[in-house]
Structure 1
Amino acid sequence: MWYTYIILSDNNKLYTGITTDIARRWQEHTSGVRGARFFRTCKPVKLCRLESFNNRADASAREAAIKKLARAAKEALIASGSPEPLPTLPRS
């Protein structure tokens, strides 16, 4: 399975990405090892949304679509609830 996710950072910005393992990716983002460049200047605070897909192409297409949304639309998407249960992740 592939996942598209949205993370809220400590500077109140939203980051969208894809992965096959959300716990591993969260650890990479919080540790700074192999994490996204985005998190070099801020820290991830909360996993806000998680969507699953059968293949990378669909996950990448969804990631691109979310990244094109305005902030208000992303917040509405988050407020609508995550289609996947959000795992308990270690604090950053």
Structure 2
Amino acid sequence: MTQNNWYLYLVREKNNALYCGITTDVQRRFTQHKEGKGAKALKGKAPLTLAFQCVIGSRSAASQLEYQVKQLSKSKKERLVIDQPNNLIDYLQRYTLSK
């Protein structure tokens, strides 16, 4: 059994809201969202843009980080999109401890 890397991603909706999700294939999942076959939360919110993606590793770690990102305020999520960190774990630890 091969292990796939899991990714965390943020999709920007037409109303500028950010949707957070996890997947093993960001492009496949984003295409599903654009075609209305992804999360119900994004239906009718097109046009969608992929605002951020980051490899996490395990599904467990990705799920934990997804929860942490979903708890962030809109302004902190926007900062995440601007900063585009490669290591999300370190970024969130530094960012949340410094605020």
Q: TM-score, normalised on structure 1?
A: 0.83
SS in 1 for 2:48: strand
* Larger CA Rg, structure 1 vs 2: 2
RMSD value over aligned CA atoms?
1.5
Cα distance in structure 2, aligned partners of 1:70 and 1:53 = 21
Q: Percent identity?
A: 35
Structure 2 residues not aligned, in runs of 5+? 88-99
Alignment partner, residue 20 of structure 1: 24
More RCO (CA 8 Å, sep 6+): 1
SS at match of 1:11: coil
What is the aligned partner in structure 2 of residue 57 from structure 1? 60
Shift of 1:46: 1.5
5+ long unaligned stretches in structure 1: 85-92
1:41-85 per-residue CA deviation (whole Å, 9 max, x = no partner) reads 31252211111122100001110000000001111111112428x
- How far apart, in 2, do the equivalents of 1:73 and 1:59 lie? 18
Runs of 4+ in 1 over 4 A off after TM superposition: none
1:8 corresponds in structure 2 to: 12
After TM superposition, the structure 1 = structure 2 runs for residues 42-53 of structure 1, keeping only pairs within 5 Å, are: 42-53=45-56
